[in-house]
């Protein structure tokens, strides 16, 4: 991935160079002793990547195996799992190559490593874009299922869902290729940051509106059955807590990476920004954590998917 300051992970391993701020034109001590640099071992990348890989493979297998899950909603969840799977595979592949290079088991020329690093960067960037797109599509799908329940099956058809999936994958591949090729251009970085903010705003607006409708529905039921006001209030508080967790995890996992991109545009040579640039690997770890949490939020909460997954695991034994 393009970083301001630290070299790429693969090239850094090949050249046996430590993370410096030479690309910024800053001396190391210019960031000051206050600069907090969180060192991320390659083993952590590998471990979290493998956990995410296993989780998302199970989601894809379960949805593929059970025909009852062949609906637009689960297609989107499956594609989200595939996007997260791409992140996992890319990280595991990159980390494995790094470890082999550092151990001297694998010997390669810098040009070859550069090409391989570009390919992995495209995979990682493409999976990030597609993940954000499918998170937004899942929010839209749930919104339609609540506010247009009677027309849902006529609005969200399998053919439309397939077209949306194909469109998202094409846009993700093209945009990620352009991003890696022209990442030094300010317009490209601003487009990515704007895209993230748009997805964040879309999800926040849709889920808050859905929570509002759910609270109104709970209030109507409470009046119908003459229940206490505290029951409705408790339901709304539980819904608000769930919404806060959902959006909070999304923001915490994705925002630091896009903040990094924004700071490259705003203050590429400021000591404070250069300190933040040093923690780029930490931002990647947060995105991997997002790919671990996504199946827990969007997939494993489905009882039918859990039952299918149980059958798959029992049959494998």
Q: Which token pair is 163?
A: 């077209």
Angstrom distance (rounded) from CA 211 to CA 248 = 15
Phi-psi category of 161—alpha, beta or left, where left has phi over 0 and alpha has psi -120 to 50?
Answer: alpha
Cα angle for residues 60, 61, 65 (degrees, 5° grid): 120
When computed from its CA atoms, the radius of gyration of the chain, rounded to whole angstroms, is: 22
Tens place of pLDDT for every residue, the chain, 317 residues? 444 443 355 544 444 333 333 333 333 444 555 677 778 887 888 888 889 999 999 999 999 988 888 889 999 999 999 999 988 888 888 888 877 877 777 777 777 777 777 788 788 888 889 999 999 999 999 999 888 988 999 999 999 999 999 999 999 988 888 888 887 788 888 888 999 999 999 999 998 888 888 777 767 666 666 655 555 555 566 667 777 788 888 899 899 989 888 888 888 888 888 888 888 888 888 988 999 999 888 888 888 888 888 887 877 55
pLDDT score at 227: 56
Q: Among 288, 282, 287, 267, which Cα is nearest to 4's?
A: 267
C-beta separation of 1 from 280 below 8 A: yes
Measured CA to CA, the distance from residue 154 to residue 186 in angstroms comes to 42
> Looking at the domain 41-314, which fold is it?
Rhopdopsin 7-helix transmembrane proteins (1.20.1070)
Q: Residue written as tokens 């029951």?
A: 231
Q: What is the DSSP string of 237-272?
A: HHHHHHHHHHHHHHHHHHHHHHHHHHHHHH-TT-HH
Determine contact, residues 195/129, Cβ cutoff 8 Å.
yes
Alpha helix ranges (H) inside 107-228: 110-147, 152-155, 158-181, 186-224
């Amino acid at each position: 991935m393009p970083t301001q300051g630290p070299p790429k992970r693969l090239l850094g391993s090949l050249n046996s160079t430590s993370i410096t701020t030479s690309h910024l034109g800053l001396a190391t001590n210019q960031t000051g002793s206050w600069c907090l640099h969180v060192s991320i071992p390659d083993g952590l990348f590998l471990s979290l990547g493998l956990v995410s890989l296993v989780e998302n493979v199970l989601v894809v297998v379960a949805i593929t195996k059970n025909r009852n899950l062949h609906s637009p909603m689960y297609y989107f969840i499956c594609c989200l799992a595939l996007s997260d799977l791409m992140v996992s595979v890319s990280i595991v592949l990159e980390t494995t190559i790094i470890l082999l290079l550092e151990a001297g088991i694998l010997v390669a020329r810098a040009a070859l490593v550069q090409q391989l690093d570009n390919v992995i960067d495209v995979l990682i960037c493409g999976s990030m874009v597609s993940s954000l797109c499918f998170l937004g599509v899942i929010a839209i799908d749930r919104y339609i299922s609540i506010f247009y329940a009677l027309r849902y099956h006529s609005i969200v058809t399998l053919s439309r869902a397939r077209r949306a999936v194909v469109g998202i994958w094409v846009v993700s591949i093209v945009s990620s290729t352009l991003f890696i090729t022209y990442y030094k251009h300010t317009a490209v970085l601003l487009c990515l940051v704007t895209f993230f903010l748009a997805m964040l705003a879309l999800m926040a607006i849709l889920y808050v509106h859905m929570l509002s409708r759910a609270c109104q529905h709970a209030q109507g039921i409470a009046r119908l059955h003459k229940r206490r006001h505290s029951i409705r209030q408790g339901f709304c508080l539980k819904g608000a807590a769930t919404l806060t967790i959902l959006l909070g995890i999304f923001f915490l996992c994705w925002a630091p990476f896009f903040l990094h991109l924004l700071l490259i545009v705003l203050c590429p040579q400021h000591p404070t920004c250069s300190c933040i640039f040093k923690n780029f690997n930490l931002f990647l770890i947060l995105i991997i954590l997002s790919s671990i949490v996504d199946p827990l939020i969007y997939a494993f909460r489905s009882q039918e998917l859990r039952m299918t997954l149980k059958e798959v695991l029992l049959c494998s034994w």
